[in-house]
Amino acid sequence: MESDENEVMDLWHKCNLVVPWDNPKQDIERKLKVDRDLFIVGEENSKIIASVMGGYEGHRGWINCLAVHPVLAVIYNDSVADNCN
């Protein structure tokens, strides 16, 4: 996972998930120290196209950060819309 750090941060930037008061590198480092199995990346052709960072406190789980490459998100949304009609 550490080797994917730059690619994940690039994805987060493309998805407009990085804000000035947050440090994405630090967020990744912290997550890898606690519940690293709740930090998942999706790959296609050896490229990271999605990531999800979750949390769990023993009773409830939550999604803190979900990213899907913008091009794929548009394709997925169009596909879902077509299948709902």
Q: What H or E segment, with its residue span, contains residue 20?
A: none
Between CA 4 and CA 37 the distance in angstroms is 14
pLDDT at 6: 94
pLDDT at 81: 46
**Contact between residue 67 and residue 12 where contact means Cβ atoms under 8 Å apart:** yes
**Contact between residue 17 and residue 65 where contact means Cβ atoms under 8 Å apart:** yes
Tokens representing 23 are 């440090």
pLDDT at 78: 56
pTM recorded for the entire structure: 0.79
Residue-level pLDDT, tens digit, the chain, 85 residues: 568 999 999 999 999 999 999 899 999 999 999 999 999 999 999 999 999 999 998 888 888 889 999 888 766 555 544 545 5
Q: Say how many C-beta atoms besides its own lie within 10 A of residue 24's C-beta.
A: 18
Q: Phi and psi dihedrals of 50, rounded to 5?
A: -160, 155
Domains annotated for the chain, with CATH where assigned, are 2-84 (3.40.630.30)
